[in-house]
Amino acid sequence: MTTQRVTSRLLRTRWRAGPVPLALCPVFVSVTDFTATSQPQAGAIALAGLRLRRTWPRTPGALGMWLWAEVAGRRSGSVSVWRDETALREFVGRPDHLAVVRAHRGRGTMRAAAWEAEDFDPDAVWRRARTLLTGATPWPQHFVRLADA
């Protein structure tokens, strides 16, 4: 399988802190990439992401996150940093997150990657996430159809 490098420009929000204080400590990083089937759907999922972002200061186990979007495309997603994998799993199972997933099921393709980092370095996390999002580094897993999520 050949990896095609994406040359489009990515925009990202400012860092949105969670309730876990930033410190040199091990963290769990999650990167999501949603490709909508249409431009209106792309806007709807980006808006849903912004709504979830408002809850970040109260999200247990979250150090923080960035939302990102492709300037001229139908892609958007998040780069979130967690105390551990359990905190991420608890967020994924939250009713408000599940409502977003269900509302957009079948209206695009989702992929995600995650890794542990010994020390949280925001610049290093964003650089690694960006290599995935731009296609400079292959994703470690295949696309997941939202109908299957």
pLDDT digits (tens, 9 = 90+) for 6-26: 446 899 999 999 999 887 789
CA angle 129–45–74, rounded 5-degree value: 65
pLDDT digits (tens, 9 = 90+) for 31-42: 999 999 998 888
Q: Closest Cα to residue 5, out of 136, 132, 139?
A: 136
Task: Give pTM, 2 decimals.
Answer: 0.85
CA angle 28–29–33, rounded 5-degree value: 150
Mean pLDDT score across all residues of the chain: 86
Extract the tokens encoding 136.
């400079």
How many angstroms separate the CA atoms of 46 and 12, rounded?
Answer: 12
pLDDT digits (tens, 9 = 90+) for 50-85: 999 999 999 999 999 999 999 778 999 999 999 999
- pLDDT for 140 equals 79
pLDDT category at 3 given cuts 50, 70, 90 is: very low
Percent of the chain with pLDDT strictly greater than 90: 61
pLDDT higher than threshold 70 for residue 1: no
